[in-house]
Amino acid sequence: MKRSNVIMLIASLLPLGLFFFPLWKITLEAPQYPIPLGMYIHINDFSDVHPHDIKNINLMNHYVGMKYIPEAIPEFKIFPIGIIITTLIGLIIAFKGNHKWFLFWFVLMIVLSSAGLYDFYLWEHDYGHDLDPKAIMKFTNPDGSVMGFQPPLFGSKDILNFRAHSYPRLGALFLGLGIIASFTAYLTGKKNNKKPVTM
């Protein structure tokens, strides 16, 4: 097996790390939460950082009319299938394909990951803006518009008394490494292809 194909093989397997490690983490800090509230986003689940965190995030959020974080979202079914399919494609390419296919897989993954992130952003936006009109507390921005409570997609942000942090976790790292590795496989394969056959 050629070196580039070995790299591609690894690249296609790396995203499977998403099944073992969380993709993202959202943390909410406030003075009365010396241990911050936190939530992991897995490819197929939301989970507490500390026991009952999600329940307590929901309790906080209901004051401003935010919906409860759902037990499950359709993405939890779609994303795992997506990862398995792309891994399978990656494996086939690793065994059968050449560097051009590696590039194809790289682009495919970039497109799908971006779509996933965009989907995540939409959910967050809805979660932060689609507020119960009977909300206990209503806040407005300085311009008079209704204040939203959307957590950041990436980075840290102040939301009322909370400071929200949103950062990728190990699962995302595996995915990212897989994508980078596929590009490396492409570059390696391309270089080798240009080399004249010396035998």
Partner 1 sequence: MKNILKSTLVLLSVLVAFTSCDNASSKSNSGALSSSAAEKVYVAPGEHDEFYAFISGGFSGQLSVYGLPSGRLFKVIPVFSQDAEKAYGYNEETKPMLNTSHGFVPWDDAHHPDISQTNGVVDGRWVFINGNNTPRIAKIDLSTFETTEIIEVPNSAGNHSSSFVTENSEYVVAGTRFSVPIPQKDMPIKDYKGNFKGSLSFISIDPEHGHMDIKFQLIMPGFDYDLSHPGRGKSHGWFFFTTYNTEEASTLMEVNASQNDKDFIAAVNWKKIEEYVNNGGGTMMPANYAHNVYDEATHSATSTMKKEVRIVNPLDVPGAVYFLPTPKSPHGCDVDPTGEYIVGNGKLSANLTVHSFTKMLNAIENNKVAGDAYGIPILNFEDVLAGVVEQPGLGPLHTEFDGKGNAYTTFFISSEVVKWKLGTWEVVDRQPCYYSVGHLMIPGGNSQKPFGKYVVAMNKITKDRYLPTGPEVTQSAQLYDISGEKMELLLDFPTVGEPHYAAGCPADLVKPRSKKLFKLEDNKHPYATLNEADAKVVRDGKTVHVYMTTIRSHFAPDNIEGIKVGDKVYFHITNLEQDYDVPHGVSMIGANTSELLIMPGQTETFLWEPKQIGVWPFYCTDFCSALHQEMQGYVRVSPANSNTPLKWSLGEDIE
User: Amino acid identity, residue 67?
Assistant: K
Exposed, middle or buried by CB within 10 Å (0-12, 13-18, 19+), for 111? exposed
Least Å from the CB of residue 171 to partner 1: 26
Least Å from the CB of residue 147 to partner 1: 17
CA–CA distance, 104 with 57 (Å, rounded to integer) = 41
Least Å from the CB of residue 138 to partner 1: 14
The token pair that represents 137 in the structure block: 């507390």
Q: Under the rule (CB under 8 A), what is the footprint of partner 1? A: 35, 51-52, 55-56, 59, 63, 136-137
Least Å from the CB of residue 65 to partner 1: 13
Least Å from the CB of residue 63 to partner 1: 7
Q: What is the DSSP letter of 49?
A: S
CA–CA distance, 94 with 6 (Å, rounded to integer) = 7
Nearer to partner 1, 63 or 154 (CB): 63
* Residue 10 vs residues 18, 93, 125, 181: alpha-carbon distances, Å: 14, 12, 35, 7
- No. of helices (H) and no. of strands (E), the chain: 5, 5
